[in-house]
């Protein structure tokens, strides 16, 4: 029972329940009937049970059609039993419930089968009324023809909408698979190739040059750490495809690469970013990728407000020119009405002149390779600040106290 209630869709029941307004016709007929009070009471009970079964059928329609469309006939039987309770009081006018049976056929079966059986149901009902009481054919014409026709039209449109939605879902899945394949290839293809080459070189130099071999192994360790960070970042982003997921992906990438990551809460981040969440996602992704790959930093801190996003690291600092990634990002920020500023962290904190990334920036290599101390440890550098502002003010964000 609890499982069935979890499957119940109130919206579907409400949409179908609108049509229960047509039960006013048999209710009026029962009130005007000359049948015995007991038979009229039985008819009212039948109408109540009929309405409940009808609402349950459509509220659970996703569940039982997912199991088998042929369960439609079981629900039709559930409607037929209370409908028969109207016959002693209404006689042939019990066929006023015909439209509800047609609706269940139209929505509970595949389009062609439901349409065919619905037409057959209307035809048999009309013939039965014509044979038993020809005078009732005109009063019942709306429930025998008009209401089923409207139901058919709505059913066809509903089936077409569901088919289009299913096609869109399949296209979205195919597109996502293609994007994941491309991302994995971009992330791992180059890194694994370089790791393989360096591993082969280390093997050849193992006996002749132990120190050089150690350097190669340290570079292999760094490359594998970066590749693992990017893979974890991509997986996290796919699991939670919003700005909160982007924050978690950045955290995963930074911590896997061995950096201290200071970021806002993934739960609060979408609320803080507001309408700029989508743009900030692109900026955060590109900035963190640059930090992991090129900065040689040991710490990265992200600060966020509704109109600003700031990423600070303590790496080697920005190079003299920006590559395609930052140039494309600057164009996207400018199109959104903002400004992207990239500057050495020390200068930014002391009020120095920032370096502004724009779509007109000269293409060049990424940040310089990270400097290292003896033993492969990162040496502290001037750091980099990436600041995106969506207002005229370019004041950096202060760390929370």
3-state SS of 341-375 is EEEEHHHHHHCCCCEECCCCCCECCCCCCCCECHH
Whether the per-residue pLDDT at 357 is higher than 60: the answer is no
Closest CA to 285 of 316, 248, 339, 319: 248
Cβ(125)–Cβ(98) below 8 Å: yes
- Is residue 224 included in any domain, yes or no? no
- Domain membership of residue 235 (yes or no) is no
Orientation of helix 277-290 relative to helix 243-256, angle to 10°: 10
Examine residue 152 and state whether it is found in any structural domain, yes or no: no
Whether the Cβ atoms of residue 89 and residue 40 lie closer than 8 Å to each other: yes
Residue 394 within any structural domain of the chain: yes
Q: Could you give the CA distance from residue 298 to residue 374 in angstroms, rounded to a whole number? A: 16
Regarding whether 268 and 134 lie in a shared domain, the answer is no
Question: What CATH code is carried by the domain that includes residue 395?
Answer: 3.30.565
Look at residue 167 and tell me if it is in a domain.
no
- Where is the domain boundary, 114, 139, 164? 139
Last residue of a domain, one of 139, 159, 194: 139
The answer to whether residue 360 sits within a structural domain is yes
pLDDT tens digit sequence for 181-201: 776 676 677 677 777 887 887
Local structure of residue 33 (DSSP, 8 states): -
| Total domains in the fold of the chain | 2
| Residue 347 domain boundaries | 260-401
Whether 368 shows a pLDDT value over 70: the answer reads no
Query: For the chain, what is the mean pLDDT?
Result: 79
pLDDT tens figures, 60-113: 888 877 777 778 888 889 999 999 999 998 888 888 898 888 888 888 887 788
pLDDT(114) > 50: yes
Q: Is the pLDDT of residue 264 over 80?
A: yes
Same domain, 400 and 268: yes
Its pTM stands at 0.45
Distance CA 63, CA 54 (A): 15
d(CA 312, CA 396): 10
* Structural tokens at position 231: 């893979």
Dihedral (CA of 284, 293, 377, 258) sign: positive
| Residue for token pair 């047609």 | 102
Residue 196 lies in a domain: no
| DSSP state letter for 261 | E
pLDDT-derived band of residue 374, with 50, 70 and 90 as boundaries?
very low
CA 316 to chain centre: 38
Question: For 187-196, which contacts have Cβ atoms below 8 Å and span 24 or more sequence positions?
Answer: 187/227, 187/230, 187/231, 187/234, 188/227, 188/231, 191/223, 191/224, 191/226, 191/227, 191/230, 192/227, 194/223, 195/220, 195/223, 195/224, 195/227
Residue 260 belongs to what H/E stretch?
A: strand 260-262
pLDDT score, position 235: 66
253 lies in a domain? no
| Tens digits of residue pLDDT in 196-237 | 887 887 888 777 888 888 888 887 887 777 777 777 666 665
Domain finish residue from 78, 113, 139: 139
């Amino acid at each position: 029972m609890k499982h069935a209630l979890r499957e119940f869709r109130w919206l579907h029941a409400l949409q179908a329940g609108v049509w229960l307004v047509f039960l006013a016709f048999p209710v009026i007929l029962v009130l005007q009937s000359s049948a015995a009070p007991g038979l009229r009471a039985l008819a009212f009970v039948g109408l109540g049970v009929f309405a409940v079964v009808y609402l349950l059928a459509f509220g659970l329609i996703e569940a039982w059609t997912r199991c088998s469309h042929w369960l439609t006939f079981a629900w039709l039987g559930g409607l037929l039993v209370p409908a028969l309770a109207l016959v002693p009081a209404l006689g042939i006018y019990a066929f006023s419930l015909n439209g509800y049976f047609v609706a269940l056929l139209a929505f509970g079966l595949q389009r062609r089968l439901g349409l065919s059986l619905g037409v057959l149901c209307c035809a048999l009902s009309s013939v039965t009324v014509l044979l038993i009481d020809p005078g009732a054919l005109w009063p019942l014409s709306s429930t025998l023809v008009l209401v089923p026709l409207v139901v058919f039209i709505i059913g066809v449109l509903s089936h077409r909408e569901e088919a289009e939605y299913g096609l869109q879902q399949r296209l979205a899945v195919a597109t996502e698979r293609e994007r994941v394949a491309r991302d994995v290839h971009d992330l791992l293809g180059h890194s694994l190739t370089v790791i393989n080459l360096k591993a082969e070189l280390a093997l050849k130099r193992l006996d002749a040059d132990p120190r050089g071999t150690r350097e190669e192994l340290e570079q292999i360790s760094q490359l594998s750490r970066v590749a693992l960070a990017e893979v974890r970042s991509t997986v996290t982003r796919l699991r939670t495809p919003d700005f909160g997921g982007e924050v978690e992906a950045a955290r995963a990438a930074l911590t896997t690469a061995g950096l201290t990551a200071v970021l806002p809460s993934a739960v609060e981040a979408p609320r803080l970013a507001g309408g700029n969440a989508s743009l900030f996602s692109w900026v955060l992704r590109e900035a963190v990728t640059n930090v992991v790959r090129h900065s040689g930093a040991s710490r990265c801190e992200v600060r966020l407000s509704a109109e600003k996003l700031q990423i600070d690291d303590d790496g080697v600092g920005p190079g003299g020119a920006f590559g395609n990634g930052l140039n494309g990002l600057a164009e996207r920020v400018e199109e959104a009405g903002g400004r992207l500023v990239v500057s050495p962290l020390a200068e930014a904190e002391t009020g120095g002149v920032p370096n502004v990334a724009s779509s007109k920036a000269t293409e060049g290599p990424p940040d310089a390779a990270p400097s290292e101390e003896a033993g492969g440890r990162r040496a502290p550098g001037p750091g980099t600040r990436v600041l995106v502002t969506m207002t005229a003010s370019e004041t950096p964000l202060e760390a929370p106290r």
